[in-house]
């Protein structure tokens, strides 16, 4: 007869690494497994283990149940790792936790040094409630901080205000008391903020709607601003653009005024010109020049009135001169 072979399913159920005492322990019927995130071997094993222990201790679960309930919190490679451990090699949950942490030690996030808290401080304008949440996150990333050290770092990280003065004047005995005082002060500040928003008026969220803002603050007519003496006027470049054609009119300058000439100057110029003409005639035709000279002399005497005063032609120097004078007249 052929011997029976075990099915794969039966082998997985019976080949667990727990001792016979753990496997024979009867789980209470009213036990409800708490919700727990699964661990696949890629995360931080310490975070997963701490979360699991905290939930199990709340329900008061015994050690054998904690060992057997740990397997469902694993998946993938992590679950296969636990099943592959030698049977009966784990007798309590402490041994299981040590092996789990040792196997995934490379995934543990490095803890920050205590000096990291020196750079943590409350920013300007940051509310106390927001800062407390950030402080808790930062201090949890540091391993093994003493109570009084944490209290000192927390007090000095606060901004100068009422809470800082209270912690300096009356130093709490423990770090937990200081955090409790800070939480009470943060809740009070939050309540005061909401109360001021309700007193001013606004929406349910504490912010005014656009309609409420326009209704409460109507737009006032803008008044012209008075120009101050020390204000410099803004000069804009002027570049006119004519809309219609403009004919340019050129101004015609008036003629210059006539030059005033004295009577003696005009008389002398006439004499000078007459002399020049006479000289030219003498050069061209001597007989004509003599006639012109005689005519000019007779004209001068006539102008003076000598001819009309009864002077006879004998008064002239010669008959030729008298005849020339008559001809010219």
Q: Would you state the pLDDT for residue 81? A: 93
pLDDT tens string 55-93: 888 888 889 999 999 999 999 999 999 999 998 899 999
Q: Would you state the pLDDT for residue 1? A: 41
- In this structure, is residue 231 part of a structural domain? no
Among residues 165, 181, 200, the one where a domain terminates is 200
pLDDT tens string 277-312: 666 666 655 565 556 656 666 666 666 555 444 444
Mean pLDDT, range 301-325, rounded to an integer: 49
- In this structure, is residue 129 part of a structural domain? yes
Q: Would you state the pLDDT for residue 3? A: 46
Domain limits for position 42: 10-107
Q: Would you state the pLDDT for residue 144? A: 77
Mean pLDDT, range 25-52, rounded to an integer: 88
Residues in the chain, overall count: 329
> How far separated are the first and last CA of the chain, in Å rounded?
192
Instruction: Looking at the structure, tell me whether residues 146 and 85 fall in a common domain.
Output: no
Residue 228 CA to residue 267 CA, distance in Å, equals 73
- In this structure, is residue 53 part of a structural domain? yes
Residue 164's domain is classified under what CATH number?
A: 1.10.1200
Q: Which residues contact 167 (CB under 8 A, 6 or more apart)?
A: 155, 158, 178, 181
Tokens coding 271:
């004499």
Q: Which residue has the higher pLDDT, 94 or 327?
A: 94
Among residues 61, 84, 107, the one where a domain terminates is 107
- In this structure, is residue 187 part of a structural domain? yes
DSSP string, 80-116: HHHHTSPTT-B-SHHHHHHHHHHHTGGGSPPPBPGGG
Q: Would you state the pLDDT for residue 100? A: 94
Tokens coding 208:
């005014």
Q: What total number of domains does the chain contain?
A: 3
Residue 37 CA to residue 34 CA, distance in Å, equals 10
pTM for the model = 0.41
| Eight-class DSSP state of 45 | H
Among residues 50, 72, 107, the one where a domain terminates is 107
């Amino acid at each position: 007869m052929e011997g029976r072979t075990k099915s794969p399913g039966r082998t997985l159920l019976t080949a667990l690494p727990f001792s016979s005492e753990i496997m024979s322990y009867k789980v209470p019927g009213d036990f409800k497994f708490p919700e727990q995130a699964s661990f696949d071997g890629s995360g931080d094993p310490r975070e997963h283990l701490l979360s699991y222990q905290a939930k199990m201790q709340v329900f008061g679960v015994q050690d054998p149940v904690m060992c057997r309930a740990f397997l469902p919190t694993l998946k993938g490679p992590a679950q296969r790792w636990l099943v592959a451990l030698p049977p009966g090699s784990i007798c309590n949950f402490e041994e299981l936790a040590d092996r789990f942490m040792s196997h995934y030690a490379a995934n543990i996030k490095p803890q920050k040094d205590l000096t990291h808290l020196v750079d943590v401080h409350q920013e300007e304008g940051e509310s106390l409630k927001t800062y407390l949440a950030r402080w808790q996150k930062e201090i949890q990333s540091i391993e093994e901080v003493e109570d009084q050290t944490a209290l000192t770092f927390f007090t000095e990280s606060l901004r100068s205000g009422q809470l800082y003065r209270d912690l300096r004047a009356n130093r709490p005995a423990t770090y937990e008391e200081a955090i409790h005082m800070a939480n009470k002060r943060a809740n009070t500040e939050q309540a005061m903020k909401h109360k001021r928003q309700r007193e001013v008026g606004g929406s349910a969220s504490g912010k005014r709607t656009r309609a409420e803002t326009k209704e409460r603050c109507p737009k006032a007519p803008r008044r012209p601003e008075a120009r101050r003496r020390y204000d410099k006027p803004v000069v804009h470049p002027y570049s006119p653009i004519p809309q219609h054609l403009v004919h340019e009119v050129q101004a015609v300058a008036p003629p210059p005024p006539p030059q005033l000439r004295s009577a003696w100057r005009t008389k002398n110029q006439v004499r000078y010109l007459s002399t020049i003409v006479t000289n030219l005639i003498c050069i061209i035709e001597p007989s004509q020049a003599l006639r012109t000279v005689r005519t000019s002399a007779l004209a001068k005497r006539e102008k003076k009135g000598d001819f009309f005063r009864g002077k006879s032609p004998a008064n002239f120097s010669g008959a030729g001169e008298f005849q020339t004078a008559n001809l010219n007249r």
